[in-house]
Chains A and B, each alone.
Chain A
Amino acid sequence: MNAYSAIFYLLAVIITVATALTITSRNLVYAVVYLIISFLGTALLFYLLGAPMLAALEAIIYAGAIMVLFLIIIMLMQIDKQEGVASLFNQCFFVIAVAGTAFSLVLLLLYGNSGSFFPLQAAMATPGQFGAFIFQKYWLAVEVVSFLLLVALVGALYLSRTNSEKSAYGGKR
């Protein structure tokens, strides 16, 4: 086992444990902290696999931006104390059913595809190659997704207007 695979297994353990703690933690702030650790671990994993651009984006967008919004919402709504929620044991059946199905599908894919037994060539995607790949090959999908985000942004802006602003625009006054 060389250094890279040692780091890989270390990261894999950290990510799995952090994610497990995320979904079992009763304190929502702790759940978010564990999820941040899991995202940072994933970012390091991307870096290890030769995709520094993806690693940086994972850290900026998921660990840096989305989780901050989660934290703000949890703190503003004062929902860090969970009371009267069903115990983990009651939800156990559905969790095992869904997770078991997903896991067996992954196993099927891993062992069904003969290509998975050959080690991949070491690869390195520079930011330039990454950008060219996304914007030349998948430009349509990128544009559609960004348009969707724009629509969501305009919708959020409309919903968050106060009543006086709405009536001023709607001409009800």
Chain B
Amino acid sequence: MITLLIKLASLLAVVLLLTAYLVLIERKLLGRFQLRYGPNRAGFHGLLQSFADGIKLLLKEDIVPAGADRFIFIYAPAIVAIVPLLLLAVIPFGDTSILMGKEIPMVIANLNVGVLYVLALSSLGVYGVILGGWAANSKYSLLGAIRATAQMISYELALGLSLVPVVMLAHSFSMVDIVNAQARYPFILVQPVAFIIFIISAMAEAKRLPFDLPEAENELMAGFHTEYSGMRFALFFLGEYINMIALGALVAVFFLGGWRGPLLPPVIWLLLKILLVPFLLIWTRATLPRLRYDQLMHFGWKFLVPVALLNIVFSGGIILWMGS
């Protein structure tokens, strides 16, 4: 019980600190990509910028628009921030270690349906966006919410299908077993197609730039969070950045071998692998223009989903052929 509480507290602390600095990393990198310096006033090289932003957002007035549905408007941002945090509960961050004669599994919950838990949570994450957008009672919010929902449920399908070959290779839905199955080689080497589909779908799930139609500034102001201010607005952003970390953790576990790696301690390896995905997302944000809405839907349904299905059939055939 105490070890569980310690694990929960340390995971929460690390993730929230990482989230705060991810915002700074993003602004710094975007600055570099655009030949600027990025924030460098608050603290040494701008290291205190995240805290300055956080304090500012906390102290801003929290406005609920007159026509809004008060109850749903107030609670919707919480869903956006909680869902990716819950997702991190099944990520293993090390091998089972023995401390004072007791075995301590380095994961908060080793569910035997871990992959399905991840998919269930990613499908529940839509509600924060759609309810928040609806409750604000504004055209832009509603349009952004509907776009976000259509996009997220379309790409969720490709996301789920790209994980099927991983489960077939590991013979298990459990995240711990999936990491253990990659003891000899990470799955990215045998499943490059699934990896690419997963990364693209993850980008769309996180609503990052080539897929950021729900909050397309020049059409919808800020999309589903147009009417939000203060800490509730910050919660939407917190959710987005925790989601980037959670997606990075999923990529690390499913395709890059989780905490496994030579020389460095497991937690460091996991952190390095997790940070690869936000870095990629920031890079694409600085590089690629936004898709058109019909292009987005065609790409998801007519390209990603069929390729993911074919990948399942081929991988299944090869696994059966190798096994016999």
| Separation of A126 and B111 alpha carbons in the complex (Å) | 10
A63 to B116, Cβ gap below 8 A?
no
CB-defined contacts of B284 to chain A, threshold 8 Å:
none
CB distance from A68 to the nearest CB of B (A): 6
Given A29-B72, A59-B124: A53 and B116 interface contact (C-beta under 8 Å): yes
Known: A56-B117, A59-B123. 20 other contacts (CB 8 A): A29-B69, A29-B72, A43-B120, A52-B112, A53-B113, A56-B120, A57-B116, A60-B116, A60-B123, A63-B123, A63-B124, A64-B119, A65-B153, A68-B123, A68-B127, A68-B149, A69-B153, A71-B130, A71-B131, A75-B130
Is residue A127 contacting chain B, with contact meaning CB distance below 8 A?
A: yes
15 residue pairs A–B, Cβ–Cβ below 8 Å: A29-B69, A29-B131, A33-B72, A59-B120, A59-B123, A60-B119, A63-B124, A64-B119, A65-B123, A68-B123, A68-B126, A68-B130, A69-B153, A72-B150, A75-B145
Given A33-B72, A52-B113: A64 and B124 interface contact (C-beta under 8 Å): yes
| Separation of A122 and B130 alpha carbons in the complex (Å) | 39
Is residue A36 contacting chain B, with contact meaning CB distance below 8 A?
A: yes
B123 to A64, Cβ gap below 8 A?
yes
Is residue A76 contacting chain B, with contact meaning CB distance below 8 A?
A: yes
CB-defined contacts of B145 to chain A, threshold 8 Å:
75
B173 to A72, Cβ gap below 8 A?
no
Measured CB to CB, the nearest residue on chain A to B153 is A68
Of A29, A43, A55, A68, most B-chain CB atoms within 10 Å: A68
Proximity bits, A41-58, B CB within 8 Å = 1, else 0: 001000000001101110
Question: How many pairs of residues, A versus B, come closer than 8 Å at their CB atoms?
Answer: 64
CB distance from B47 to the nearest CB of A (A): 39
Proximity bits, A65-79, B CB within 8 Å = 1, else 0: 100110110011000
A60 to B146, Cβ gap below 8 A?
no
CB-defined contacts of B247 to chain A, threshold 8 Å:
none
| Separation of A126 and B174 alpha carbons in the complex (Å) | 11
Is residue B134 contacting chain A, with contact meaning CB distance below 8 A?
A: yes
Given A56-B113, A71-B130: A64 and B142 interface contact (C-beta under 8 Å): no
CB-defined contacts of B173 to chain A, threshold 8 Å:
127
| Separation of A64 and B152 alpha carbons in the complex (Å) | 11
Proximity bits, B62-94, A CB within 8 Å = 1, else 0: 000000010010000000000000000000000
CB-defined contacts of B153 to chain A, threshold 8 Å:
65, 68-69
| Separation of A71 and B152 alpha carbons in the complex (Å) | 14
CB distance from B128 to the nearest CB of A (A): 12
| Separation of A29 and B149 alpha carbons in the complex (Å) | 15
| Separation of A75 and B119 alpha carbons in the complex (Å) | 25
CB distance from B134 to the nearest CB of A (A): 6
CB distance from A112 to the nearest CB of B (A): 35
CB-defined contacts of A57 to chain B, threshold 8 Å:
116
| Segment 131-172 of B: residues with Cβ below 8 Å from A | 131, 134, 142, 145-146, 149-150, 153
B111 to A52, Cβ gap below 8 A?
yes
Given A52-B112, A64-B120, A68-B130: A75 and B142 interface contact (C-beta under 8 Å): yes
| Separation of A90 and B117 alpha carbons in the complex (Å) | 43
CB-defined contacts of A60 to chain B, threshold 8 Å:
116, 119-120, 123
Proximity bits, A1-44, B CB within 8 Å = 1, else 0: 00000000000000000000000000001000100100000010
Of B69, B72, B113, B130, most A-chain CB atoms within 10 Å: B113
CB < 8 Å: which of B117, B120, B127, B134 contacts A36? B127
Measured CB to CB, the nearest residue on chain A to B119 is A60
| Separation of A63 and B72 alpha carbons in the complex (Å) | 17
CB distance from B194 to the nearest CB of A (A): 19
| Separation of A127 and B113 alpha carbons in the complex (Å) | 7
CB distance from B123 to the nearest CB of A (A): 3
| Separation of A59 and B115 alpha carbons in the complex (Å) | 13
| Segment 115-138 of A: residues with Cβ below 8 Å from B | 126-127
CB-defined contacts of A55 to chain B, threshold 8 Å:
113
CB-defined contacts of B130 to chain A, threshold 8 Å:
68, 71-72, 75
CB distance from A37 to the nearest CB of B (A): 11
CB-defined contacts of A64 to chain B, threshold 8 Å:
119-120, 123-124, 126
